[in-house]
Amino acid sequence: MTARATLATARRVLLQLRSDHRTLALLLVVPVVLLVLLRYVFQDAPATFDRIGGPLLALFPFTTMFLVTSVAMLRERTSGTLERLLSMPVGKGDLLTGYALAFGLVSVVQTGLACAVGLGPLGLDVRGSPSLVVVLAVLNALLGTALGLLLSAFARTEFQAVQFLPAVVLPQVLLCAGSSCRARPWRRRCGGCRTCSR
């Protein structure tokens, strides 16, 4: 594994993403639009938006990065690009690390944009530190990228890759909601978030 091959792979992936306007819209515009829609749906109940907006800042990037990463890696495999790349002096580690770097950078931009709009003009009020919300959202987006890369190895078609989405996202949502309910006594003592301190 060499840094030159890894960075060349990351550059190639970023150039491909730059020319794919639909994917860029899915990554950068859709989470922001969904947050804006939710803000106006809960316009009469800002406390509700404040309660669900923070978790959604992490869930939207996780979901979209999982989808895009798994489908993009699967396309590389099914279109024969992966075989052509591996016949060159690019190892599997270079390829995976290059993809992780490229999509990791995109996930940081995507999450930063969604958090800037949510915490800025939309007025999302989080009880804790807004910078902690941003860090956790970025980590969640990177987790979606990593899981997308991992699970793309098990899918043979794009439809199968999309079918992994409920198997990966639903447990995360259920575990997060369940753990916040169980953690309420501990969260009350430490100040906790707005949801848990009730």
Domain positions in the chain are 3-190
Choose among 137, 165, 2, 138: nearest CA to 70: 165
DSSP string, 54-113: HHHHHHHHHHHHHHHHHHHHHHHHHTTHHHHHHTTT--HHHHHHHHHHHHHHHHHHHHHH
**Locate tokens 């999509």: which residue?**
103
Q: Compute the average pLDDT of residues 93-98.
A: 82
Quote the pLDDT of residue 82. 60
Quote the pLDDT of residue 35. 92
CA 71 vs. chain centroid, Å, equals 14
Tokens encoding 13: 């992936």
Quote the pLDDT of residue 88. 65
User: Coil, strand or helix: which one is 44?
Assistant: coil
Cβ atoms of 117 and 36 within 8 Å: the answer is yes
Cβ atoms of 146 and 100 within 8 Å: the answer is yes
Model pLDDT for residues 160-198, shown as the tens digit of each residue: 888 888 888 778 777 765 445 444 554 444 444 444 444
